[in-house]
């Protein structure tokens, strides 16, 4: 059965719009921890946050507070940088997802280039796993990237669904088939398979049918829906859509 991981970065985005540049923003609104606890109560099985090098939304203090208080899994997205790696090793989240990171991007654009960067990624994966942290790589649904992910010791991959989410009609179905093939390939390579980026209350009807998927990490759509119905209701709606039968 599919599990929902809620990315709460955009809760922090709203906070930082009013309180920019704060390194310890736990007294500012909206409270990231409070949002995470609502998601947990609503049935989310994982909370995802991206601690970016520029700290544009999630702050260091957020990650430590979440680690202390959450009963569900904490998934820390991060670029492969020495500074953030050291923080991850101190926090010890349940999972780390290594992602590409660009300062000018609005959100993560494209998958991590595992092919060609195996050595540096292998070292990071080994350090994280040595600390008891499960490691995922956010990759394009391409066999080469999946094989390289398995070869460097990753526990799982998160398939980038952005191209699928941005397409329509026949083009979207072509991207869906690509994701399905990648999921089967990754599963056969011994990787746990997750997916995320651009998944919403509409296209979930297609994504939920992909074989071997374990977790879906969804953020923007849920936070957007929460503006109208509240965060707990938005999470419950998504969980229902993930499991609904047609």
Residues annotated catalytic, as ranges? 50, 77, 197
For the chain, the straight-line distance linking the first and the last C-alpha, in angstroms and rounded, comes to 16
Q: Could you say which DSSP state residue 214 is in?
A: E
- What does the alpha-carbon distance between residue 82 and residue 104 come to, in Å, rounded to a whole number? 20
CA distance 85 to 123: 11
Give backbone dihedrals phi and psi of 32, rounded to 5 degrees, phi first: -65, -40
Contact between 39 and 47 (Cβ < 8 Å): yes
Across the strands, what pairs with 217? 5, 196
Note whether 110 and 160 are within 8 A (CB).
Answer: yes
E runs forming strands in 51-174: 73-78, 95-98, 134-139, 156-160
Determine contact, residues 87/51, Cβ cutoff 8 Å. yes
Q: Could you tell me which residues are beta bridge partners of residue 234?
A: none
Question: Is the peptide bond between 30 and the residue preceding it cis, with omega within 30 degrees of 0?
Answer: yes
């Amino acid at each position: 059965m599919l599990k929902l991981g809620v990315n709460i970065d955009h809760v922090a985005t709203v906070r930082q719009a009013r309180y920019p540049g704060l390194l310890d923003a736990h007294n500012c609104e909206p409270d990231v921890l409070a949002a995470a606890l609502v998601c947990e109560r609503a049935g989310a099985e994982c909370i995802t946050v991206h601690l970016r090098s520029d700290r544009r939304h999630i702050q260091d203090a957020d990650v430590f507070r979440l680690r202390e208080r959450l009963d569900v899994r904490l998934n820390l997205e991060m670029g492969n940088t020495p500074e953030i790696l050291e923080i991850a090793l101190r926090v010890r989240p349940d999972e780390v997802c290594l992602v590409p990171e660009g300062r000018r991007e609005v959100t993560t654009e494209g998958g991590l280039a595992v092919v060609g960067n195996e050595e540096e990624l292998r070292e990071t994966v080994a350090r994280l796993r040595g600390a008891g942290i499960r490691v995922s790589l956010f990759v394009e649904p391409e066999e080469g990237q999946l094989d390289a992910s398995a070869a460097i010791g990753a526990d799982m991959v998160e398939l980038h669904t952005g191209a699928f989410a941005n397409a329509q009609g026949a083009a979207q179905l072509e991207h869906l088939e690509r994701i399905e093939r990648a999921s089967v390939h990754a599963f056969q390579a011994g990787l746990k398979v997750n997916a995320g980026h651009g998944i919403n209350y509409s296209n979930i009807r297609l994504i939920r049918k992909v074989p071997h998927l374990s977790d879906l990490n969804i953020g923007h759509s849920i936070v957007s829906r929460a503006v109208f119905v509240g965060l707990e209701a938005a999470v419950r709606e998504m969980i229902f859509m993930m499991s609904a039968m047609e």
